[in-house]
Amino acid sequence: MPSSDLSISRRSILAGGAAAIAASSLPLSHRVQAQGASDWPAVSALIERWVGGERVANMVAALGWRQEAPVTIARGTLAFDSAAQVDQDTLYRIYSMTKPITGMAAMMLVDEGRLTLDQPLAEIIPAFAQMQVQKVPDGPITADNLEPAVRRITIRHLLTHTAGLGYSIIQQGPIAQAYRREGLDPGSVSRLSIVPVFNAPKAPSLAVFAERLAKLPLIYQPGTRWSYSMALDLMGRVIEVVSGKAFDAFLEERIFRPCGMTSTWFQVPASERARLTTSYFSLGGLPLPIDAGANSIFLDKPAFPFGGSGLVSTARDYDRFLQMLAGLGELEGRRVMSEAAVRLGTSDLLPDTLLPGRGFREGFGFGAGGLVGQGEAQGLYGWFGAAATAGLVNLDWGLRQTLMTQLLNASGESILQEDFPRAVARDAAALLQPA
């Protein structure tokens, strides 16, 4: 189910930086400013194919350069049975695009000296001091399949999915059953019982979530491999302990409010439900509604703020987050993060203890909750969401790209998440012309 943001291919990630590659000999002064949707014909055509072909009910793209205002391309309605048109302020479940926001929140604390990358997690949450690890991943949780962790989990491990933690949407067998039994399903999808993902009872708070997670074995030895996990949800608890503030309050105070992200929430206010899309699940290519905007599970207060998957946002808001990163921590003259914090968080933070071939992707690194481009894709940072959303920025060139739609389990979802950065790259290369 919503683990398809794992299926991003190497060429799709490269495509996000291809505009800079195509015009690498051109100085920024030679760039012409994009004025509207007509400057992004490949992106417009992609959106028309998906929405016009009724594969999705809607799409919104926000595209921009450095600190320039974004161009928004919007097509479709809130739901297939709705007449309300979507726009840059339409609300979308961004799922794993929450992770880079949580990652940057952690980088603020690192920058302030309240955390260090190689600080043991157990110094903050003592329950993680003596971790056991499965010898056979997803095997039995019995003494003969457990061994002590060879090193302690660190903040770096959490930020880069190398802590050895599992994920309820990925793991199988006894450990997956234990996650559900202990309420370690950090996310929401639907009220429908036929949608089992994230439908188990939840731990009542981030504190309880962390304590329960520490009692279960790791899937892999810490620092040895990249494995998509609940690490950014656990990071939410780290941020609470270190900052002395509730995790959601910290995000509001330090990121959302300074960035002018006025429509990004873990719980959508009832007064805003008219802006919330309906979420669909693809079954045999047929989009079936699983979470209607008017009665969405995201209108309920979550058990705790899910730092890995819990946010609802808009194309306008997420672009402002990317714009802040493109400004190296500054947005419209206001300093949100230090330049050092942005540069560190968008650099390759993977530990040097990784086993051969166990990194994120060949030729790519991983930073604070998001992929990091290397080589031809140098400067690229961002991540994807399970409902076919995307949020990427090339820091070297300031190229920002956000895609919003709502389709889970789509057979063509990974293709869409490949095609969108490629379409952006083709259009951006055409805009990079000599003066």
**Short-list 205, 245, 223, CA closest to 120:** 223
283 pLDDT band, cuts 50/70/90, is confident
Q: What is the average per-residue pLDDT within 304-321?
A: 98
Which percentage of the chain shows pLDDT scores above 70?
89
Is residue 107 helix, strand or coil?
A: helix
- What amino acid is encoded at 358 in this protein? R
Report d(CA 407, CA 410) in Å as an integer.
Answer: 6
Q: Report the distance separating Cα 394 and Cα 380, nearest Å.
A: 4
Which pLDDT value is given to residue 34?
Answer: 60
Q: How many CB atoms lie within 10 A of CB 434?
A: 11
What's the predicted TM-score (pTM) here? 0.93
The C-alpha angle with vertex 319 and arms to 2 and 298, in degrees rounded to 5, equals 40
Per the listing, tokens 């100085």 go with 27
| 148 exposure class (CB count in 10 Å sphere: 0-12, 13-18, 19+) | exposed
Residue type, 231: A
**pLDDT confidence of residue 377:** 87
Exposed / middle / buried, residue 180 (Cβ in 10 Å: 0-12, 13-18, 19+): middle
pLDDT in tens, 378-424: 999 999 999 999 999 999 988 999 999 999 976 555 578 889 999 99
User: What pLDDT score was predicted for residue 6?
Assistant: 40
Nearest to 324 by CA among 398, 390, 383, 268: 398
* Domains detected in the chain: 4-103+248-431 (3.40.710.10), 117-246 (no CATH)
pLDDT digits (tens, 9 = 90+) for 340-364: 999 999 999 999 999 999 999 888 9
Q: Is 37 helix (H, G, I), strand (E, B) or coil?
A: helix
Cα separation, 82 vs 336, whole angstroms: 38
